[in-house]
Amino acid sequence: MSLMAKKQSSRKSGGAFRNSVSVERSRSGQGWTLTHPADVREGAEDLDEVREMIAAGEQDVAVDELRWLIENCTDWIEAHYLLGKLAVETQGDVPLGRAHFGFGYQLGERALRRADNPTPVPAMHPANRPWYDAGRGLAWSLAELGKRDMALEVIENLLRCDPADPLNLREWIDEIRTSGAPIVELGGLFALGEGRDNHDGTTNTTKNQDDETSDEP
């Protein structure tokens, strides 16, 4: 069923997605993963359609569809991340981007806090990566807005969750302290899941979060 068909069906029935982000130990026992709501996993194709819209230059339509997705499933971390990305890249609206990134980041942070903040939470696991992307977007936005202490707090929390630092977040700390802006270029930071492995072995989805990978960007 296409995204538009699902949208029409949901509106007719008044149905809403099931939503709740939680945390579970990975199958390998080597760390912890964020467990996304069932409809987020099942809606992987919906996000693929949104990415196709963005690639085709249909950013306004993509924003509308993303808003519909989070209206029906508030705990859709990657949808919040993409809304933040679009706000920054297409509208130049850093405060709006910060709001979207912040919402996605807080979803994962609250889930981890409810689970007593277990570690490590591997950044390269596809179930965790949307949260790290939202966190990086939030830190970047805060630094751009001159809120360096808040940006550093976000980065330090991400590093606490994955001390191995595969995303090289430690490099941001000195840059933020000295110039107020991360060293990462905007385009590189907000790439649309480029090179990302998915839970089902394909790309750009959050369909089956039990699989583990170690080579996401």
Round the average pLDDT of the chain to a whole number and report it: 81
pLDDT higher than 80, residue 1: no
**What's the rounded Cα separation, in Å, for the pair 109 and 157?**
9
What is the model's pLDDT at position 19? 55
- Please provide the CATH number assigned to the domain covering 34-189: 1.25.40.10
Contact status, residue 162 vs residue 122, Cβ threshold 8 Å: yes
Q: Per-residue pLDDT tens for 138-173?
A: 999 999 999 999 999 999 999 999 999 999 999 999
Average the pLDDT over 103-127 and give the result: 96
* 3-state SS, residue 135: helix
| Neighbouring C-beta atoms of residue 11, cutoff 10 Å | 11
> Which tens digits make up the pLDDT trace of 32-41?
999 998 888 8
* pLDDT reported for residue 14: 39
Residue 169 CA, distance from chain mean position: 16
Structure confidence at residue 61 (pLDDT): 96
Q: 53-106 pLDDT, tens per residue?
A: 999 999 999 999 999 999 988 999 999 999 999 999 999 999 999 999 999 999
**pLDDT above 80 for 197:** no
126 preceded by a cis bond (ω within 30 of 0): no
Query: Three-state SS for 197?
Result: strand
Contact predicate 59/86, CB 8 Å = yes
Rounded to two decimals, the pTM is 0.79
Q: Where are the domains of the chain?
A: 34-189
Q: At 25, which helix (H) or strand (E)?
A: strand 22-25
